[in-house]
Structure 1
């Protein structure tokens, strides 16, 4: 499982790349990799919960985000191996 944070580096460029960023998010859900996408508060960027991919695949996917490629955000990828979950999230266990 991966927790990806996208913290604004240059928010002024965000509107210019928003359509591409939203298409990238949609592709993540369509591919079955993204489980959750939300905003970091207060207005600090975004966070993604992802699974069903290797660390290398996640790295490539994150670099393909127009916000990352164009310096709108700085990305950090955290890797977690869940050992205990609510039963609704058992599919995330290693």
Structure 2
């Protein structure tokens, strides 16, 4: 599992121009079963919890985000190894 932070960058003011592409990118990540949770980090940018993906695949997916490609945000990917979860989130725990 990974936590991705998307922090506003040098081209933050261009966000409206690329918003529709960014939203489509998010929807595709959810549809593909990779993005489990997506939301805002007020005054910073956004955050994503990703799973069911290798780091290499996630890095490529993040590069494909129009916000990243156009330097609206910079992305940081951190690996997260959960070992406990509320029953409702148990699907996020490693199987086996």
TM over 0.5: yes
Please show how residues 39-58 of structure 1 align to structure 2 within 5 Å. 39-41=40-42, 43-58=43-58
Structure 2 regions of 5+ residues with no counterpart?
Answer: none
- Report the CA distance between 1:58 and its aligned residue: 0.6
Which residue of the partner structure matches residue 70 of structure 1? 70
Which residue of the partner structure matches residue 84 of structure 2? 84
Moved over 2 A (4+): none
- Report the CA distance between 1:11 and its aligned residue: 1.2
CA distance in 1, matches of 2:84, 2:37: 19
3-state DSSP of counterpart to 2:36: strand
Structure 1 regions of 5+ residues with no counterpart?
Answer: none
Deviates more, 1:51-60 or 1:80-89: 80-89
User: Aligned pair count?
Assistant: 93
Normalized against structure 1, the TM-score is what?
0.94
Normalized against structure 2, the TM-score is what?
0.92
Which residue of the partner structure matches residue 22 of structure 2? 21
- Report the CA distance between 1:44 and its aligned residue: 1.5
